[in-house]
Amino acid sequence: MSDYAALLKKKVRPDQLDAMVAAGLIDGPKAASPKLELVHDAGKPEAAFTFIDLFAGIGGLRLGFESIGGRCVFTSEWDKYSQKTYRANFPDDDHEINGDITKIEAADIPAHDVLLAGFPCQPFSIAGVSKKNSLNRPHGFEDKTQGTLFYDVARIIRHHRPAAFLLENVRNLVSHDKGRTFATIKDVLENDLGYRIKCRIVDGRSWVPQHRERIFIAGFREDSGFDFDAMPLPDKATAPRLGSILHPEDGSETPDQRFVVDNIGKVNQKYTLTNHLWTYLQNYAAKHKAAGNGFGFGLCGPDDVARTLSARYYKDGSEILIRQGDGVPRRLTPRECARLMGFDEARGASFTIPVSDTQAYRQFGNSVVVPVVKAVAEHMKGHILKAVRGQAPKAGVG
């Protein structure tokens, strides 16, 4: 065992070990030999840097960092339906999609420059905490099935010491358990792992017609002067409205026979609520309004901005209902959800949706707003490239 490894076992902070290596007091860590086979694809351009995609979902974080020249060398996602969508949209990968990250040894993950992780947010989200409280179940770090997955991120960072990372979660992570959860996360990243971190809550509203606040935690192994607050945001006053992502229903969109039908691309009738469900939602809203609560459906038109799309959207669509004249409203179609989350352009349909509507709603509701991640990645780009400058990006494996 090297001096570095022995001291790491004794929980000497990695940043202190790095300083000792730089001073020539001890040898540096030996690079782990991944068990996976090295792949050299001459047909692909050399990447500016490499990254891994943990809790990958359907690839929202990945799209942001590919847009600045990164190459994904490892993917982990446990849900088989999300794996199907991910695989359909990244068919040229030279690595498989790995499953449960808790069962993967850090040494079996390839070396990488940047780590991306949208670790599960249910233990910290407002809806998730409310549901668990009602069921008298633990949440946050007391949730043994999801809350502790942050520590799997930490153990991988500890082993590989990537130049940078980006973590994403719901805004409520900051205030969960009176701030103690977030304080613990920051303590692990800064004091245990020795990274310089900056955090920012960003609302997707500046890019898409949806209010969607998420916290992003950017970390750098070395102090690079990164300033998250300096990231510019588009003017919300000129941001798009819902009409930009809705099916036009005027013949300008090619009918796909799944979401839109007939010769002018009318939204499929199956997305219109039943009379029974619409009556229930109206009565439910009236009941809570009379009680002074804010619960109820969100009825929208082309000039409006939507509430946050959630993973439960498939149940009744209540948070974002689209007016249809004076009649019964409809849900967004999955294609409209893809546009609302920025996986597709406003009138685009390039993102492949190979799963059922129920699974598609879950996937988009659990995902990130892609243009937000692209903006964050662009803001981090210079600092990432500076961190890996002078050395080739770490090798990918298949």
Catalytic residue annotation: 121
Q: What is the 3-state secondary structure (H, E, C) of 96-108?
A: CEECCHHHCCHHH
Helices (H), the chain: 3-9, 14-22, 60-66, 80-89, 126-134, 149-160, 180-187, 275-290, 313-316, 334-340, 357-365, 370-388
> Which residue is listed with tokens 């780009």?
381
CA 291 to chain centre: 36
**356 secondary structure, DSSP code:** -
Beta strand 114-117 with 97-98 is unpaired
Instruction: Evaluate whether 192 touches 13 at the Cβ level (below 8 Å).
Output: yes
Cβ-based neighbour number of residue 281 at 10 Å:
19
Instruction: Evaluate whether 168 touches 61 at the Cβ level (below 8 Å).
Output: yes
Rounded Cα distance between 37 and 368, Å, is 31
> Which residue is listed with tokens 């099935």?
145
Instruction: Evaluate whether 139 touches 126 at the Cβ level (below 8 Å).
Output: no
Rounded Cα distance between 148 and 141, Å, is 6
Instruction: Evaluate whether 341 touches 309 at the Cβ level (below 8 Å).
Output: yes
Cβ-based neighbour number of residue 99 at 10 Å:
14
Helix (H) or strand (E) holding 270: none
Rounded Cα distance between 17 and 26, Å, is 8
162 phi, psi to nearest 5 deg: -65, 155
Amino acid at 320: I
Q: Which of 168, 167, 170, 166 is nearest to 212 (CA)?
A: 170
Rounded Cα distance between 170 and 70, Å, is 25
Helix (H) or strand (E) holding 54: strand 49-54
